[in-house]
Amino acid sequence: MSAAPSLALEKAPRRGSPRYPVNVALDVIVLRSGVPENLPGRCTDLSEGGVGGMVAGELAAGQQVAVELRLPNVGVPIRARALVRYQGKLRCGFEFVGLSVDQREMIRYWSYRLASPLVQLEKKEEQPANLAPLVAVPAAQSKPRIRIGRRRFNALLAAMLLLAAVAWWQWQRSWNELEVGAAAAEAPLRVSPEAMELRIVSKIEPVYPEEARQARKQGLAVLDVVIAPDGTVKRLQPVSGDDLLVKSAAQAVRSWKFEPYQSSGRAVAVETTIAVEFRLN
> Could you tell me if 262 and 206 lie in one domain?
yes
- In this prediction, residue 149 has a pLDDT band, given cuts at 50, 70 and 90, of confident
For residue 89, being part of any structural domain is answered with yes
- Write down the mean pLDDT value for the chain: 80
Question: Residue 208 belongs to a domain with what CATH number?
Answer: 3.30.2420.10
The DSSP-derived string for 240-281 is ES-HHHHHHHHHHHTT-EEPPEEETTEEE-EEEEEEEEE---
Amino acid 120: pLDDT:
52
Confidence at 74, pLDDT banded by 50, 70, 90:
confident
Alpha carbon 64 to chain centroid, angstroms: 7
- Give how many domains the chain has, as a whole number: 2
Q: From its phi and psi, is residue 260 left (phi > 0), alpha (psi between -120 and 50) or beta?
A: beta
Contact 47, 18 (CB under 8 A): yes
Same domain, yes or no: 196 and 120: no
Q: 179 and 58 share a domain?
A: yes
Averaged pLDDT for residues 142-153: 67
pTM for the model: 0.39
Residues 6+ apart with CB under 8 A from 273: 193, 222, 223, 224, 225, 239
Q: Say whether both 220 and 195 belong to one domain.
A: yes
Single out the residue of 96, 60, 98 nearest to residue 174, CA to CA: 98
Q: Do 86 and 15 share a structural domain? A: yes
Does 99 score more than 90 pLDDT? no
- 276, amino acid identity: V
In a domain? residue 77: yes
Considering the domain architecture, whether residues 25 and 45 belong to the same structural domain is answered as yes
- pLDDT recorded at residue 177: 63
The domain containing residue 268 runs over which residues? 189-278
Q: Is 223 found in the same domain as 168?
A: no
Domain match, 162 and 262 both: no
What CATH number has the domain bearing residue 86? 2.40.10.220
| 43 neighbors 22 (Cβ within 8 angstroms) | yes
Pick from 184, 205, 223: which residue ends a domain?
Answer: 184
180 versus 273: the higher-pLDDT residue is: 273
Q: What is the tens place of the pLDDT at every residue in 9-45? A: 444 445 567 888 988 898 888 887 767 888 888 998 9
Q: Point out the least confidently predicted range of 78-87, 100-109, 122-131, 238-247.
A: 122-131
- Phi, psi for 178 (deg, rounded to 5): -65, -40
Q: Report the pLDDT value the prediction gives residue 176, as an integer from 0 to 100.
A: 66
